[in-house]
């Protein structure tokens, strides 16, 4: 019973941190900042900077959690700092303050994920890690369905500024079960030199299956992070839907990802993480191609919900288990740090997207994402063949 409680408490953290991801990162802050500045470039710059800074830090943070055995403690610290800076977004309206505070909140949000992911082997053995990862992914998207209507109500009653305060409170509340019921990781017994970032980097370079996996993941995340961040603004600019239709598509995509997240976990345990990951990336690539060509909003919505739902959920679910499988014993934190490095610094295309959108239009910008997604699928296929 205790093991089951710790697994569900771990998965619920995905629900909690998606409140920040959906309400602040994906929906309200992009609309808020672009509405104030009347241009896309500042948003692209600040988001790129936040993720690059986090990406440079997370390999060191992951190795630190291996060395000290304080993974849950560091997760608590980064979660609290993210919550504090998110709440501060509600206090002031000056653009420089908003950008600096958003930068800090994003940094600690992304840093927290390496510690959260490194706790996966604590709550599930190898035969159940796909299920646990899929449950977390599904609950994460359920968090979107839960938090966005609340954010809408707060926005209409009290104003957009207070949405960020409510998001911070919800993040903290639903994160608490993890800190209560998930046990701490054991400190690694591996010799200290194996814990260094340089050794992890050399290990990745020596083993081609690892090198191709992280290269493929980097390229896929270039496409996926860009889609997640610009989707709402894309729909608003290209189709000009009513706020109700815009919200319905956003929630529909997250409901589809919730369903596919629950399904992708057992599929990953049954068919293998590599196969499910490649299927999910193929789905994302094809979906991007179709979405960049269609001109009917209803077709756009249907394709996005089905193809994008499986793509998003499958990539997160299978990707996390794949890292555990490829990591040497006792070094999962360091390798999740490297995984998060490829995830967080994969934001160059987001800045490129904003430039393309301003110069040649949003549809051309979206179609450009087929390039990193397709190349990522190619490298992931090479990784599987060499493993």
Q: What is the pLDDT of residues 47-61, one digit of tens each?
A: 778 877 877 787 778
Is residue 195 a part of any domain in this protein? no
Is residue 190 a part of any domain in this protein? no
* 289-339 pLDDT per residue, tens: 999 999 898 999 999 999 988 999 899 889 888 888 887 776 777 777 777
- Is the per-residue pLDDT at 177 higher than 80? yes
Verdict on whether the full-model pTM lies above 0.85: no
Residues 230/353, Cβ–Cβ less than 8 Å: yes
Q: Terminal CA-to-CA distance of the chain, rounded, Å?
A: 36
Q: Give the CATH number for residue 372.
A: 1.20.1250.20
Is residue 191 a part of any domain in this protein? no
With b for 16 or more beta-carbon neighbours within 10 A and e for fewer, the 49-85 pattern comes to: bbbbbbbebbbebbbbbbbeebbbebbbebbebbbeb
Is residue 308 a part of any domain in this protein? yes
| Residue-by-residue DSSP string for 86-131 | HHHTTT---HHHHHHHHHHHHHHHHHHHHHHHHTHHHH--GGGHHH
Name the residue range of residue 145's domain. Answer: 2-180+200-386
pLDDT band at 194 (very low <50, low <70, confident <90, very high): very low
Is residue 193 a part of any domain in this protein? no
Structural domains in the chain (count): 1
Instruction: Give CA–CA dist 182/259, Å, rounded.
Output: 25
Q: Phi/psi class of residue 69: alpha, beta or left (left: φ > 0; alpha: ψ in -120 to 50)?
A: left
């Amino acid at each position: 019973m205790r093991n089951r409680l710790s697994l569900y408490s771990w998965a619920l953290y995905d629900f909690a941190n998606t409140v920040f991801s959906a309400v602040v990162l994906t929906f309200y802050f992009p609309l808020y900042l672009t509405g104030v500045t009347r241009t896309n470039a500042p948003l692209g710059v600040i988001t790129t900077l936040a993720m690059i800074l986090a990406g440079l830090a997370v390999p060191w943070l992951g190795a630190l959690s291996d060395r000290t055995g304080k993974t849950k403690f560091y997760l608590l610290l980064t979660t609290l700092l993210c919550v504090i800076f998110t709440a501060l977004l509600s206090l002031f309206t000056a653009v420089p303050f908003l950008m600096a505070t958003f930068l800090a909140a994003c940094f600690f949000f992304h840093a927290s994920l390496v510690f959260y992911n490194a706790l996966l082997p604590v709550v599930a053995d190898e035969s159940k890690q796909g299920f646990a990862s899929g449950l977390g992914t599904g609950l994460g998207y359920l968090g979107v369905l839960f938090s966005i209507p609340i954010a809408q109500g707060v926005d209409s009653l009290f104003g957009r500024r207070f949405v960020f305060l409510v998001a911070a409170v919800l993040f903290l509340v639903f994160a608490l079960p993890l800190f209560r019921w998930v046990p701490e990781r054991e400190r690694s017994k591996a010799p200290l030199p194996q814990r260094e970032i340089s050794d992890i980097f050399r290990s990745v370079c020596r083993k081609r299956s690892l090198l191709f996996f992280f290269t493929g993941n980097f390229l896929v995340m270039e496409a996926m992070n860009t889609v997640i961040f610009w989707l709402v603004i894309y729909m608003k600019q290209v189709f000009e839907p009513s706020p109700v239709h815009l919200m319905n598509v956003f929630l529909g995509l997250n409901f589809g990802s919730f369903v596919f997240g629950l399904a992708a976990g057992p599929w990953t345990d049954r068919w293998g993480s590599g196969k499910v990951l490649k299927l999910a990336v193929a789905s994302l690539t094809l979906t991007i191609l179709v979405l960049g060509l269609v001109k009917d909003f209803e077709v756009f919505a249907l394709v996005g919900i089905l193809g994008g739902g499986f793509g998003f959920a499958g990539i997160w679910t299978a990707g996390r288990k794949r890292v555990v499988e490829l990591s040497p014993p006792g070094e999962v934190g360091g390798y999740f740090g490297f995984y998060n490095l490829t995830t967080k610094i994969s934001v160059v295309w987001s800045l490129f997207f904003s430039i393309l959108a301003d110069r040649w239009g949003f549809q051309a910008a979206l179609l450009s994402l087929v390039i990193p997604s397709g190349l990522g699928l190619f490298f992931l296929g090479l990784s599987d063949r060499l493993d």
